[in-house]
Structure 1
Amino acid sequence: MSSLQDSSTRTVRPADLAEAAAALADTAGQVLVSGAGTAADWAGRPDAPELVLDTTALTGVRAHNPGDMTVEVRAGMPLRELNGVLAEHGQRVALDPARVALGATAGGLIATADAGPLALTYGSMRDLVIGMTVVLADGTVARSGGHVIKNVAGYDLAKLAHGCHGTLGLIAEVVLRLHPLPAANLTVRLPGSLAEAAEAAAEIMSGPLEPAALEWCGDALLVRLEGGAAAVDARADRLITLLGLGAVRLTAAEEAAAWDEHAVLVAGAEGRPPEGTAVLRVGARPSRLAGLLGELGTELGASRVTAGLATGIGTVTLPADPETVSRAHQSVHRAGGTSTLRARPVDAALPGWGPAPAAVGLLRAVRKELDPGGRLGAGRFVPWM
C-alpha cells in the first residue's frame, strides 16, 4: 500500500469511458488519478485520497486513420506500445520523453506536460493533441476537438488538461496528430562544456541545418538529424564542418547509447534518481538556460545536468533537502523561468513548485469551474492552490 493510501482507500480500474464516469459520479471524496506511476513523484505530493482511479485498463487504439495522420487511443495506453503499432504503418507519435521507456501513458504524458528532445521539431503533447474526452469530477463526460487537425470549435479542454496533473478531470481518450517515421537519422556528438555547447547551439540554430533534437548531456552536445538518407548525410557533413575539430558522427549503437544516457540522467535508472537526491525540471529562455543551470551547479551543487539549448528545457539533480530545492526554485523564478519537481526520495517532503505565477488567479478560477469541490489531485499544486 502506498504511503498516500490507508485502509479506507479503494482503487477502481475502469475499462471504458462509462465505468470511469460512474466511478467519479459514485463518490464524493478525494480522488487521485493514477496511470503507470512514472510521474507519481512529480509536482506537489497529493493528499491521501478516498479513491484511486487507475487508468491502466483504459487502453487500446480506438481508431487509426493513416491517410489523415491521426489516431484515437484510450489514455491509459503506454506510448511505447502505441508507437509499436503505428510503426507498422510508417508513422509515429513524435514524442520522446525519458519516461516512455518506463511505460508512461498517453494520458499521463499530457497531464504532466512532459516532452523530450524531439520537442524542438514536433512540440509537446499540447501540439499533438487534436481531440480529447475528459471525465469531470462529478462524472460529466466532456469532449473537445475531434479527428480534424484544423478543428477549432468548442472549449479547448486539451490545452487546459496539458500539465494539470490530474486536477481538472480524468483524461479518458485522446486523438493525436501523427508524423511519418524518418527514412534516416543520425546523431553528431561534440564534446565540451555547457557554456561551449550553448555557443555551438546558437550557431547551429542560426543556420539552415534544422536539427530534430539538440541537447547537452553530461559532457557533450548531441545533435540529431532526421530526414531522407542522402539529405541527412549531407547535413551531417555540413554540421561537422561547422562545429570543427572534435565533432563526430555516432554509429547506430553509439547513437542509441547516447540518447539512453540522456534519458537516464533525466528520469534516473529505472525511473529513480540516485539515493538522497531529487530531480528538478527547469524551463527558461533558451538564451538564459545554460547560465541558469550553471548557476544551480555552482551555488547548489546541481549535477547530472541535461540542457535543451534550443527548447529551453533542462533537468538537474539536487541534494534532496527542502532548503536546497526551495533555493533552486527561487533561482529559476528570478531568472524568469519555471521549475517543477519531477523526482524525489520516497516520502521526502520537498517543495514541488516555486513562487506562484502571475496567472495563478486564473488557474484557481478554472479549477473551481471544472472541479468546484477540489476533489481531484488535491495537494498537487500546493502552495499555489
Structure 2
Amino acid sequence: MTRAAPTTLRPTSAREVRDAVLDTPGRLAITGAGTAAGWAGRADDDVAATLDLSGLSGVIHHNPGDMTVSVHAGTPVLALQEQLAEHGQRLAFDAARVARGATVGGLLATADAGPSALVWGGLRDLVIGTTSVLADGTMVRSGGHVIKNVAGYDMAKLLHGSHGTFGPVVEVVLRLHPVPKAVACVAVDGPVAEAASRVLELMASPLEPIAVEWVSGDPGRLLVRLEGGAGTLPARVERLRELLGADAREVGPDAWDAHASLTDGPHTGGDADGPARDGAVVRIGCAPTRLAPLVEQLPAIAVTAGLATGVATVTVPGAAVTQVHDAVAAVGGTSMLRDRPEALDAPAWGPAPSALALLKAIKNQLDPEARFAAGRFAPWM
C-alpha cells in the first residue's frame, strides 16, 4: 500500500509554528529554502507533516546604533544583506549557499560558514539570541540578557549545527559589522603544500587577511582577501604580494566563483558539468597545520581548503566516502557528507563523537518522542 505524501505546513509567524507543532501528531520534517536538503543523514520520509519555514521571513527589528538585527528564521541572507547595506552594515558571513537563497535559520541549523569565518567566525559567533519551538510547543528564548533559558540550556549554541533535531528556529538576533570601504584579493598559483607554507608566514605577519583559501587545480591557487580603508588598502596589497612571492597578483572578486562552486558541490548548485559531477562532497575540519597533509592523502577530485581555519570541502568518488571519514578521524578531525548523487548509499558522518551520550541526553529531554529531524544524525541517533 502506497503511503500518502505528508502534508506541507507553511506557517508565517512564530505562533503558527508553535500551533503546527502542537496540532500535528507524530514526526515533523523541517525545511526552508532547500539549499542543504542533501546534507548530513537523509531525512526519514516517515513523517506526519513537513514544516516549511520559508514563509517565516523578514526583519523584525534593526537597531543600526547597536549594530544588531532580529529576523525571522526563514529570511534569506542575501535579502537581509541588501537591507543592511543601506545603513552601511552587513552580516559578516559569506557561505556559498547565500547566493542561492539560503536562510538565516537554515545556515544556523547546518553550521555552515564561508571563507571569512577566519576572522568573523560562523553564525555561532554572530548569533546573540534565538527563539525556537520545542516538541511540546514551548517557545524558548535564548540570548541578550537571558544567558540561560527556561529549558536550562544555551539554546543559541545548541541550535548551531543541530539540523533541526531540537526543533524549529523561528527568530534569530544577529551581531552586525560595518561594510568595508575597500576589498582586494591576491592570488598565487601552487600546490597545497606550498600554499600551506605561505599561509604560515602570512598568518604570522601584520597583514590581517579576512579570508585565506586554497582551490584545487593544476597546480591549484591560493586566494587571500583583504579589507580596509580605500587609502590604506593598496599599500597592504603590495606588501601581501611581496610576501606571497613574485608570481602573486591582484585578481577580481570573480576569482572566488570557483571556490563557491566547489564548496556547493555539483548536485546542489555547483558546477554540474565539472570534473566533480559524479562525486560526493565531504566537509572536513581538523587542526590547520594538519589540513594540507590530510588533503594530499585523500583521493580528491576537487578541493577547497581553508589553510588557516582547518576547514575544507573535498569532492571524492562515492566509493571513497568511508575512507575520507576514517582519514579525518585519524587526525582528530570531524567530517560530514554534504552533497551526493541520489543513488549513492554512503555514511553521512564519521565516527561518533565522544560527546554522543550527552547529545542523546539533551535530545531525550527536549524531544523525548524524537519528533524532529529523524535520520539527520543516523546512525548515531
**TM-score computed with the length of structure 2 as normaliser:** 0.94
Match of 2:102 among 101, 104, 123: 104
Query: 1:259 is aligned with what amino acid?
Result: W
Q: Which one is further off, 241-250 or 186-195?
A: 241-250
Match of 2:210 in 1: 212
> 1: CA distance between counterparts of 2:117 and 2:43?
28
Q: Which one is further off, 240-249 or 170-179?
A: 240-249
SS at match of 1:33: strand
What is the deviation of 1:153?
4.8
Match of 1:202 in 2: 200
> 2: CA distance between counterparts of 1:206 and 1:116?
22
Q: Matches of residues 32-181 of structure 1 in structure 2 within 5 Å?
A: 32-48=29-45, 49-146=47-144, 152-154=147-149, 155-181=153-179
Query: 1:263 is aligned with what amino acid?
Result: A
Match of 1:9 among 6, 10, 13: 6
> 1: CA distance between counterparts of 2:126 and 2:347?
30
> 2: CA distance between counterparts of 1:342 and 1:271?
12
Matched positions, count = 368
1:265 paired to 2:262: yes
> 2: CA distance between counterparts of 1:347 and 1:131?
39
Gaps of 5+ in 2: none
> 1: CA distance between counterparts of 2:248 and 2:260?
22
Identity across the alignment (%): 54
Match of 1:288 in 2: 290
SS at match of 2:289: helix
Match of 2:250 in 1: 249
1:384 paired to 2:374: no
> 1:53-109, CA deviations, whole angstroms, 9 ceiling, x for partnerless residues?
000000000000000000000000110010011011110100000111111100000
Compared CA separation, residues 187 and 167, structure 1 to 2 (3 A)? same
Query: 2:374 is aligned with what amino acid?
Result: A
Match of 1:277 among 279, 298, 303: 279
What is the deviation of 1:318?
1.1
What is the deviation of 1:6?
5.0
Tell whether the 8 Å contact from 2:301 to 2:317 is kept in structure 1 after alignment. Answer: no
SS at match of 1:200: helix
> 2: CA distance between counterparts of 1:181 and 1:56?
27
Match of 1:227 in 2: 228
> 1:16-74, CA deviations, whole angstroms, 9 ceiling, x for partnerless residues?
01110000111221111101111011111111122110000000000000000000000
The RMSD of aligned alpha carbons is 1.4
SS at match of 2:16: helix
What is the deviation of 1:11?
0.5
Q: Which one is further off, 163-172 or 338-347?
A: 338-347
> 2: CA distance between counterparts of 1:23 and 1:117?
37
Gaps of 5+ in 1: none
Compared CA separation, residues 278 and 6, structure 1 to 2 (3 A)? farther
Compared CA separation, residues 347 and 133, structure 1 to 2 (3 A)? farther
Q: Which one is further off, 160-169 or 24-33?
A: 24-33
What is the deviation of 1:277?
1.3
What is the deviation of 1:235?
1.1
Tell whether the 8 Å contact from 2:280 to 2:318 is kept in structure 1 after alignment. Answer: yes
Query: 1:355 is aligned with what amino acid?
Result: P
> 2: CA distance between counterparts of 1:132 and 1:307?
31
> 2: CA distance between counterparts of 1:256 and 1:226?
12
1:316 paired to 2:314: yes
SS at match of 2:231: helix
**TM-score computed with the length of structure 1 as normaliser:** 0.93
What is the deviation of 1:230?
2.2
What is the deviation of 1:311?
0.7
What is the deviation of 1:347?
4.2
> 1:188-242, CA deviations, whole angstroms, 9 ceiling, x for partnerless residues?
0011100000000010001111000000012110000001112221111111111
Match of 1:355 in 2: 351
